[in-house]
Amino acid sequence: MPPVGFPDTDPAAATMLCRQDFHFDLPEVLIAQQPPAERGASRLLTLDGVSGALADRQFHQLPDLLRPGDLLVFNDTRVIPARLFGHKASGGRFEILVERILDAQRAWVHLHASRSPRAGGLLHFDAGFQATVQGRQGELFELQLEGSQPWLDVLEQHGRIPLPPYIAREPTAADRERYQTVYAREPGAVAAPTAGLHFSPELLEQLTARGVAQTFITLHVGAGTFQPLRVERISEHRMHCERMSVAAATCEQIRATRAQGGRVIAVGTTAVRALESAARSGAIQPWSGETDIFIYPGYRFRCVDALVTNFHLPESTLLMLVAAFAGHAEVLNAYRHAVQQRYRFFSYGDAMFITRRPA
């Protein structure tokens, strides 16, 4: 099945919107470099999609904003320790970031070196194993791991957690646990679905006791999530592809929730992208494959009623998705408020709870 592109988006909105329309000034000091002391010990800014009203809360108050019969949709992808280091046969140093494992021995990787290796070149990793360059496709290199040990095992033993580029430090042992949701189970992401980092087992139990149901999709977040837009017109941007899966049981839970008057609440923009990709025909359907869905103002949502999300980069596709969900002016106003109130931004930062703006 081909990737999902730009469904149900108003062409006029695409023509008019520019990258600068999603700019906001962010002091560097507000970019969180460490997670909070405990999961859920974060602030929560709420944005009402109907009125645009804002309220400052704490994340542990999230259950107060939900109702019995609501359904939380989590992304259960697991971050792999995808960074490795080594040297080429010539002696030059390199670093790789595994973007996608193709099979036990083959992977697509981002490779940074003073000179790019050619097909057939042998790479020597610091941990003592080797890989051969099979070829290149755009920015990605295909590597064939030598020996019988599979990529996943090698990464778990020797890889480093790939913290986002705006976290200006090397990962620590603590990041292996904190840059991972407590419900992560499907290995394949190179970046965490960070809205889920706020949820502790205790909070999940509280939500269950309140009558809020939980279900899961899988979307393996790729390094492209950090790539800036390189075009001025939004309509000219093409999203990177990410693997995703929405199971039949999840679709049934969503249909039942809607039929009983409950809300479908996506935890993170990755959950939004997966659900809206699976609902491209108008109704949620089981689906597995790749999505390059790009959601920006003018998009007509089919599946998601509310959203838990972190604060996103200026001029990013994720900020555009949130603006499509709750209104361009309303979201930028919320971000200005967050800056003024010294919220912590990005992966290890604070969160928002947003209800959808009526179409």
| Domains delineated in the chain | 11-79+176-355 (3.40.1780.10), 83-158 (2.40.10.240)
* Distance (Å, whole) CA 227 – CA 249: 33
The amino acid at 332: L
Ramachandran class of 138: left when φ > 0, alpha when ψ lies in -120 to 50, beta otherwise: left
Mean pLDDT for 89-107 is: 93
Distances 222 to 50, 139, 145 between C-alpha atoms, Å:
33, 13, 21
- Which backbone phi and psi does 322 adopt, to 5 degrees? -65, -40
pLDDT in tens, 53-82: 999 999 999 999 999 999 999 999 999 999
pLDDT at 15: 60
- Which backbone phi and psi does 262 adopt, to 5 degrees? -85, 170
Residue 273 has pLDDT above 70, yes or no: yes
Predicted TM-score (pTM) of this structure? 0.93
Mean pLDDT for all residues in the chain:
93
* Distance (Å, whole) CA 49 – CA 305: 10
Of 21-25, 101-105, 230-234, minimum mean pLDDT range: 230-234
The confidence band for 13, taking pLDDT boundaries of 50, 70 and 90, is: low
Pairing of strands 140-145, 264-267: unpaired
pLDDT at 3: 33
Tokens of 152: 């996943």
pLDDT at 322: 97
Mean pLDDT for 275-282 is: 94
pLDDT at 315: 94
Tokens of 53: 């009203």
Residue 11 has pLDDT above 60, yes or no: no
Distances 253 to 90, 256, 269 between C-alpha atoms, Å:
56, 5, 19
Residue 37 has pLDDT above 60, yes or no: yes
* Distance (Å, whole) CA 30 – CA 347: 12
Geometric angle at alpha carbon 47, from 168 and 70, rounded to 5°: 105
* Distance (Å, whole) CA 250 – CA 253: 5
CB-based contact 137:111 (threshold 8 Å): no
CB-based contact 76:218 (threshold 8 Å): yes
pLDDT in tens, 308-345: 999 999 999 999 999 999 999 999 999 999 999 999 99
The confidence band for 10, taking pLDDT boundaries of 50, 70 and 90, is: low
Q: E strands, 241-330, where?
A: 242-246, 264-267, 287-291, 306-310
Query: Which residues are CB-contacts of 257 (< 8 A; sequence separation ≥ 6)?
Result: 69, 70, 71, 213, 263, 264
Residue 356 has pLDDT above 50, yes or no: yes
The confidence band for 146, taking pLDDT boundaries of 50, 70 and 90, is: very high
pLDDT in tens, 194-244: 999 999 999 999 999 999 999 999 999 988 777 778 888 887 888 888 999
The confidence band for 184, taking pLDDT boundaries of 50, 70 and 90, is: very high
pLDDT at 323: 96
| 11 or 100: which leads in pLDDT | 100
Residue by residue, DSSP assigns 90-148 as: TS-EEEEEEEEE-SSSEEEEEEEESSPPPTT-EEEETTS-EEEEEEEETTEEEEEE-SS
